[in-house]
Amino acid sequence: MNLKELLDTTFNCECGRSHKVPIKSLVYAEDALERLPKVLESLVDGRRVLIVADQRTWVIVGERTRQVLEQTGWSVHHIIVPDTNHGSPVCDDTTHDWLNGRLPPIDIALAVGCGVINDLTKWSAFEHDLPYAVIATAATMNGFTAANVAPAIKGVKTIIPAKPPLAVFAVPSIIVNAPFELTAAGLGDTIAKPLSTADWLLNHIFHGEYFCRYCSKIINDLETYYFDRPEDIRSRQPAAIEALFNALLYSGIAMTIVGTSAPASGGEHLLSHTLDMMSGIDGAAHDLHGRQVGLGAIFSAAIYERIFQTEIPICHPFPSDIDSTFWGSLAENVRQQYEQKKPMLKTMCEKLTDGKTWRVFLAAAQDQVRSPHEIKNCLKTAGAAHTFADIGCSHKRLLAAVLHMHEIRRRPTIIDLAWVLGILPGAADEIIDCWLTT
């Protein structure tokens, strides 16, 4: 599959839908910034651009981009999103309102950065019906090419539909030399994708959710890009980092194609979202998305391993409500999500008694999911986070997160199935001891 051929196409898929990839251009080249004005000119009529950066990305790329654009006749505004008291900016409703209040009249917005800056820019551009493009500064997450944004709204991690960028630019030497923890986080986010796809299959098989095999094939084919030589990621081999970057871009494109986050965000992502939300409640620091997702992927794979050993599934009563003491001020918002999921958990229980559905699911998921050992080994060899200490979290805090993470999202995941089968809560402690401690 030549992924570049997917750009700027619309095609009829075997899944019965017509898929559209609105991203027109990917430029991964040392002279990407010099080529940027010409590419932007081909995308929009006007010559007014807004660069959105944070303090670090402004210094690394933003300032130079401004010069290049001004020299070629563009009128350039720039906004530097300030750091919070805890460090880098966050993508939430407050920062979004702050940025929206400062948007000048422009023809295109240009994000310079990674997850937060990209999401903030994409979100504001979408609301103002403006096109946007991004200059990626690290191979750290797959949201560059995704259609949606994942902000915290009133403290709850939410997914909001938006539009993907018209173009993605990156300078290889900047991506390769980005702080290593960012690159390792990119690996954590990517390694999780086949698990997300398995969770998507779960909803397809149990709830008749739409599923696109072509899209899942894109995700699975990407594994060879990053799984085989984790030591090359550790030693920052340019080819390995480029492969990882491509895997991130194309997993984002897979999300864009199907129009949901299902192919790229399953139960393993809930661990990261929950840790972020816990930080929102108690102010303790959290780690990068992809580093937390890497642990989530190991946890999720360990849950799958136990599920694969279940020959005859027996339905246990699933939690009837969320833990409102744990969620504090976020309880109502969390409850709203969980309440929407309960009818689907009931259906799951009913279908579990039907041996055929169970066998179909096991076969499909076994085909899709690697062992926790393989995932941990890849992350460890690459120098990515794989223990709770790596993400600056205690055993107790991680345990609290894994026992509450099923409550935050209305779409069922493998974590819900583990509760329904009675694997959770009991196995949580054992899995943390066995897989996430050393």
> Which residues lie near Zn ion (CB under 5 A)?
13, 15, 189, 212, 214
Distance CA 279, CA 208 (A): 35
Write down the least CB distance from residue 185 to Zn ion, Å. 9
Write down the least CB distance from residue 191 to Zn ion, Å. 11
Of 209, 211, 192, the closest CA to residue 410 belongs to 209
Q: In whole angstroms, what separates CA 278 from the centre of its chain?
A: 18
Write down the least CB distance from residue 371 to Zn ion, Å. 21
Write down the least CB distance from residue 263 to Zn ion, Å. 10
Element (H or E) spanning 81, and its range?
strand 75-81
Give burial (CB, 10 Å; 0-12/13-18/19+) of 1: exposed
Smaller CB separation from Zn ion, 46 or 161: 161
Cα→Cα distances 375→46, 78, 366, Å: 47, 41, 15
Smaller CB separation from Zn ion, 63 or 223: 223
Number of Cβ within 10 Å of residue 213's Cβ equals: 11
Write down the least CB distance from residue 19 to Zn ion, Å. 6
Residues 6+ apart with CB under 8 A from 343: none
β-strands 108-113, 48-54 pairing: parallel
Write down the least CB distance from residue 186 to Zn ion, Å. 10
Alpha helices (runs of H) in 104-222, residue ranges in sequence order:
115-127, 172-176, 180-191, 193-207, 213-221
Q: Which 3 state secondary structure label does DSSP give 26?
A: strand
Smaller CB separation from Zn ion, 214 or 326: 214
Question: Is the link from the previous residue into 161 a cis peptide, with omega within 30 of 0?
Answer: no
Smaller CB separation from Zn ion, 255 or 278: 255
Smaller CB separation from Zn ion, 155 or 186: 186
Which tokens go with 303? 């849950």
Smaller CB separation from Zn ion, 187 or 428: 187
Distance CA 407, CA 415 (A): 10
Write down the least CB distance from residue 43 to Zn ion, Å. 26
Q: Which 3 state secondary structure label does DSSP give 228?
A: coil
Smaller CB separation from Zn ion, 296 or 372: 296
Q: Which residues of 119-155 are buried (b: 16+ CB within 10 A; e: fewer)?
A: bbbbbbbbeeebbbbbbbbbbbbbbbbbbbbbbbeeb
Smaller CB separation from Zn ion, 290 or 313: 290
Smaller CB separation from Zn ion, 189 or 287: 189
Write down the least CB distance from residue 18 to Zn ion, Å. 9
Write down the least CB distance from residue 54 to Zn ion, Å. 19
